[in-house]
């Protein structure tokens, strides 16, 4: 039914969406066309490098022209992607208008979908603030700052804040809210019973009952937890039921729960092989801040899956740790690996396969992220990251990055800062740094 509604709405809105490009898009297209026309009349980068070398002014000038063109092409790709995402969100809002939108009491920004993925709940009063406001408060506390207004108290009710690691106290407060009929608290208590946590006994029958009560009140977290329970099944408590799993998962997803949207996307991909459904819900999840969904979307662009055109620009965009705080670096080695190969192949494609021009080389940054994937990834991720590192390092250390002299008996020394360039001596290293390696070099952590 969801897919049928999507098809009907897409058909009815296609003509409206196929309008003339906006001013910014038109300007980018005209600029790109002009740059391509100009560059078509110039010698190729390869011919310039063959004639004058990797560090000559002519090579640098040609590389800069390529970079300027690439930057504009990247801007255009990101603009078109933002329009695609906006169209998906618009379609979702037409099919399922937001039902639980509220304003953050601190910044007054409207949170379109209030659930555990978009807000931080205070168990003292049951109120909440948006995650952006919470992150700002946490950053100030970590920096040694003092919250001058609240001094460790709840910003809403002024009660003393419950310590983050005091789960027992938090769940006791949640139980009080649950007894008052608050759906979000019933989801919390349901989880406590299901896991036997925070001094609550392991009682899955009670846990499921709390989930059902929360789901009956259309709580997105309760709907998702009940869906997961039906997907697992508990002997003597709840029979596994895939149809109910999909029903409650869909309800949670359409109420804007990003984790539910990601899981629903996976069911479209794994069980019914529906690219349209997968792409719709994985895009929604990524737009709502689910970094795992973003990484999956990046994977689809890198390998041209689910009806998407291959794009290392968008693969890099969705794998970039800055887009999801530090998740790619600290929590998702797979994202680090995708970022690594996107950085490498993006330059390889645009610079005619010439990847060692100082100031334009992807090697140090690509190695940086591949090493993170190798150190923190699963056996599979670490294995493919190790292979990539081996390929990049073996090629780079076969010659001096500056004078191009071939190595003899592993005599080259490498840059201790990025471990991504090799030199036959200090003189070459200093010269290479001045020629542009200072822009490529990235400090290893």
- Tell me the per-residue pLDDT of 311-331, one tens digit each, with 9 for 90 and over: 999 999 998 876 654 444 445
Q: What is the percent of the chain where pLDDT is above 70?
A: 88
**237 with 205: CB under 8 angstroms?**
yes
pLDDT-derived band at 165 (thresholds 50, 70, 90) equals low
Most confident residue range from 328-332, 344-348, 374-378, 409-413:
344-348
What letter does residue 100 receive in the DSSP assignment? Answer: S
pLDDT-derived band at 16 (thresholds 50, 70, 90) equals very low
Please calculate the CA angle 21-27-30 and round it to the nearest 5 degrees. 100
Per-residue model confidence as pLDDT tens digits over 170-217:
888 999 999 999 999 999 999 999 999 888 999 999 999 999 999 999
Per-residue model confidence as pLDDT tens digits over 37-88:
999 999 999 999 999 999 999 999 999 999 999 999 999 999 999 999 999 9
pLDDT-derived band at 389 (thresholds 50, 70, 90) equals very high
pLDDT, residue 48, reads 96
The residue-averaged pLDDT of 333-341 equals 92
pTM of the model: 0.88
Beta strands in 128-222 (DSSP E): 128-130
Report how far residue 277's alpha carbon sits from residue 40's, in angstroms, rounded to the nearest whole number: 41
Q: Which residue has the tokens 């008996």?
A: 409
In 3D, which of 296, 248, 289 has the Cα closest to residue 270?
A: 296
Q: Which residues contact 75 (CB under 8 A, 6 or more apart)?
A: 28
Q: Which long-range contacts (CB under 8 A, 24 or more apart) does 30-39 make?
A: 31/72, 32/69, 32/72, 32/73, 32/76, 35/65, 35/68, 35/69, 35/72, 36/69, 38/65, 39/65, 39/66, 39/69
pLDDT-derived band at 393 (thresholds 50, 70, 90) equals very high
Report how far residue 218's alpha carbon sits from residue 309's, in angstroms, rounded to the nearest whole number: 38
Q: Three-class SS of residue 155?
A: coil
Per-residue model confidence as pLDDT tens digits over 249-286:
999 999 999 999 999 999 987 666 688 899 999 999 99
Inform me whether the pLDDT recorded for 411 exceeds 90: no
pLDDT, residue 144, reads 66
């Amino acid at each position: 039914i969801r897919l049928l509604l999507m098809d009907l709405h897409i058909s009815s809105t296609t003509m409206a969406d196929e309008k003339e490009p906006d001013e910014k898009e038109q300007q980018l297209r005209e600029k790109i066309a002009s740059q391509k026309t100009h560059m078509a009349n110039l010698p190729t980068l390869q011919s310039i490098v063959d004639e004058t070398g990797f560090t000559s002014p002519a090579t640098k000038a040609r590389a800069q022209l390529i970079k300027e063109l690439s930057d504009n092409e990247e801007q255009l790709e990101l603009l078109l992607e933002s329009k695609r995402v906006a169209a998906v969100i618009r379609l979702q809002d037409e099919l399922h208008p937001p039902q639980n939108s509220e304003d953050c009491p601190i910044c007054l920004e409207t949170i379109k979908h209030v659930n555990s993925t978009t807000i931080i709940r205070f168990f003292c009063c049951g109120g909440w603030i948006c995650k952006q406001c919470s992150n700002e408060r946490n950053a100030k506390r970590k920096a040694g700052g003092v919250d001058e207004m609240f001094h460790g108290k709840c910003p809403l009710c002024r009660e003393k804040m419950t310590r983050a690691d005091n789960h027992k106290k938090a769940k006791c407060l949640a139980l009080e809210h649950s007894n008052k009929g608050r759906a979000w608290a019933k989801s919390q208590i349901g989880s406590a019973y299901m896991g036997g946590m925070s001094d609550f006994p392991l009682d899955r029958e009670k846990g499921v009952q709390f989930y059902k009560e929360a789901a009956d009140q259309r709580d997105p977290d309760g709907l998702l937890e009940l869906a997961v329970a039906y997907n697992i099944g508990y002997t003597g408590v709840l029979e596994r039921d895939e149809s109910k799993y999909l029903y409650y998962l869909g309800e949670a997803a359409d109420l804007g729960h990003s984790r539910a949207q990601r899981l629903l996307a996976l069911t479209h991909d794994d069980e019914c092989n529906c690219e349209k459904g997968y792409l719709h819900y994985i895009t929604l999840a990524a737009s709502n801040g689910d970094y795992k969904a973003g990484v999956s979307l990046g994977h689809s662009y890198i390998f041209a899956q689910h009806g998407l055109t291959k794009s290392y620009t968008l693969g890099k965009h969705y794998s970039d740790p800055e887009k999801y705080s530090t998740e790619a670096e600290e929590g998702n080695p797979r994202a680090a690996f995708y970022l690594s190969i996107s950085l490498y192949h993006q330059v390889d494609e645009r610079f005619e396969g010439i990847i060692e021009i100082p100031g334009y080389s992807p090697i140090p940054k690509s190695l940086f992220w591949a090493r993170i994937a190798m150190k923190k990834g699963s056996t599979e991720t670490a294995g493919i990251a190790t292979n990539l590192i081996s390929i990049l390092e073996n090629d780079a250390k076969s010659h001096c990055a500056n004078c191009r002299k071939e190595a003899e008996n592993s005599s080259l020394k490498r840059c201790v800062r990025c471990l991504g360039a090799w030199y036959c001596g200090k003189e070459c290293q200093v010269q290479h740094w001045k020629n542009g390696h200072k822009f490529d070099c990235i400090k290893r952590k």
